Amino acid sequence: MAKEQLTCVSCGRRISPTLRAVAFYCPNCGTTRIIRCYTCRQYGREYVCPSCSFVGP
């Protein structure tokens, strides 16, 4: 069974286990998991939910 490749929704960077990232469900639809890297969170870059097009900070 292959491991899921985690990528940041904002910048597309692959997330390694040592990178301080966060994963949460979309606050609008609650079905899609949003994953963001430390850098995008730190700079407040926007993300877009691929399911419902919700834009977050």
pLDDT of 9 over the 70 cut: yes
Which SS3 state, helix, strand or coil, does residue 6 take?
coil
Residue with the larger pLDDT of the pair 16 and 9: 9
Report, in angstroms and rounded to the nearest whole number, the Rg of the chain calculated over CA atoms. Answer: 11
- Per the structure block, which two tokens stand in for 17? 């286990």
Predicted structure pTM score: 0.79
Residue 49: HSE in the Cβ half-sphere, 13 Å Cα cutoff: 17
Give residue 29's pLDDT band: very low, low, confident or very high (50, 70, 90): very high
What integer best gives the mean pLDDT of the chain?
89
